């Protein structure tokens, strides 16, 4: 049997990678076609009334304990963002959104083979124990113009395991909110004060996004600009995917 991502107990519980309180808001009267990919390969499309993705990757203790508590704390903070309401996120609200996003990214990554995962077992264990977000993780929010938006994708790794520095981003969109988690892994001898940069496609990211981790400044929502449609969400999700991109490239400190 598989082991729990967070405590290594038997993974005897199915986790809704996309929580039902969110997916129920996107339930249609007629089945919609779902397109997905895994490991860079497109899967055969399927039809469903409501988006769903269950993964056997956690134990009942984690699923019904701290993970359920985090979901309950996140729902009243995330729901106004999904609905496109104007809000102000204080430090506490930002931390809740950030921890929910990291938890979801870790769970979604469980569909990948271990050698393609960015989060190490020790990081998952610390997250469970004290909510510690992995070092060199940055989290942004972007506003989606389309209230029917629903997507989830893990960007291709920024480096292969043989490289000294690797990273990956997970982007999720639910209604009027898109959440992006970028985590970099660097060698142990790189000190915490050392500035590390990553390449990013040039774009109006400062106008499109609001950073919620790590920052202590209040976040006023929504930003003046938003991403529009599937093309806009794809551009946001792929902004760190620079291999094969022939446009201008910038660097970003992480």
Provide the residue count of the chain: 254
Task: Give 192's pLDDT tier (boundaries 50, 70, 90).
Answer: confident
How many domains are there within the chain? Answer: 1
Please report the pLDDT score of residue 121 as a whole number: 94
Flag whether pLDDT at 157 surpasses 70.
no
User: Nearest CA to 150 among 239, 53, 220, 222?
Assistant: 53
Is 241 part of a structural domain of the chain? Answer: yes
Flag whether pLDDT at 251 surpasses 80.
yes
Please report the pLDDT score of residue 54 as a whole number: 87
As a whole number of angstroms, the distance between CA 238 and CA 221 comes to 23
> Which of 149 and 203 is assigned the larger pLDDT?
203
How far CA 58 is from CA of 52, 55, 62, 153, 249, in Å, comes to: 17, 8, 7, 20, 39
Flag whether pLDDT at 156 surpasses 70.
no
pTM: 0.91
Task: Give 111's pLDDT tier (boundaries 50, 70, 90).
Answer: confident
> Which of 244 and 141 is assigned the larger pLDDT?
141
Is 95 part of a structural domain of the chain? Answer: yes
- What is the extent of the structural domain holding 233? 13-24+56-253
Is 50 part of a structural domain of the chain? Answer: no
Flag whether pLDDT at 71 surpasses 60.
yes
- Between the ranges 49-63, 127-141, 162-176, where is the mean pLDDT highest? 127-141
Task: List, for residues 198-241, the tens digit of each pLDDT value.
Answer: 889 999 999 999 999 987 789 999 998 999 888 899 899 999 98
Provide mean pLDDT across the span 144-170: 77
Task: List, for residues 15-42, the tens digit of each pLDDT value.
Answer: 998 999 999 988 777 666 666 655 555 6
Please report the pLDDT score of residue 116 as a whole number: 83
As a whole number of angstroms, the distance between CA 203 and CA 121 comes to 34
% the chain with pLDDT above 90: 58
Is 123 part of a structural domain of the chain? Answer: yes
Is 166 part of a structural domain of the chain? Answer: yes
Is 189 part of a structural domain of the chain? Answer: yes
As a whole number of angstroms, the distance between CA 109 and CA 119 comes to 8
Is 98 part of a structural domain of the chain? Answer: yes
Please report the pLDDT score of residue 139 as a whole number: 97
Task: Give 153's pLDDT tier (boundaries 50, 70, 90).
Answer: confident
Task: Give 163's pLDDT tier (boundaries 50, 70, 90).
Answer: low
Burial class (CB in 10 A: 0-12, 13-18, 19+), 73: middle
Is 48 part of a structural domain of the chain? Answer: no
Flag whether pLDDT at 10 surpasses 60.
yes
């Amino acid at each position: 049997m598989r082991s729990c991502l967070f405590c290594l107990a038997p993974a005897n519980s199915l986790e809704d990678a996309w929580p039902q309180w969110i997916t129920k808001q996107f339930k249609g009267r007629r089945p919609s076609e779902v397109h997905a990919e895994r490991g860079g390969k497109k899967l055969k499309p399927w039809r469903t009334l409501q988006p769903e993705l269950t993964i056997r990757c956690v134990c009942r203790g984690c699923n019904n304990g701290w993970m359920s508590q985090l979901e309950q704390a996140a729902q009243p903070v995330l729901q106004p963002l999904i609905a496109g309401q104007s809000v102000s996120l204080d430090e506490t609200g930002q931390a809740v959104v950030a921890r929910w996003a990291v938890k979801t990214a870790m769970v979604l990554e469980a569909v990948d083979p271990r050698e393609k995962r960015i989060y190490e077992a020790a990081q998952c264990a610390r997250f469970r124990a004290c909510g510690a977000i992995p070092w060199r993780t940055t989290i942004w929010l972007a506003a989606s113009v389309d209230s029917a938006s629903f997507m989830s994708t893990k960007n291709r790794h920024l480096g292969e395991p043989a490289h000294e520095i690797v990273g990956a981003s997970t982007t999720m969109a639910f209604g009027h909110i898109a959440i992006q988690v970028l985590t970099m892994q660097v060698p142990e001898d790189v000190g915490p004060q050392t500035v590390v940069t990553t390449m990013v496609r040039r774009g109006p990211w400062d106008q499109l996004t609001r950073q919620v981790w790590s920052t202590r400044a209040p976040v006023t929502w929504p930003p003046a600009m938003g991403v529009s449609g599937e093309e806009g969400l794809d551009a946001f999700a792929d902004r760190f995917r620079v291999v094969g991109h022939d446009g201008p490239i910038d660097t970003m400190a992480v």
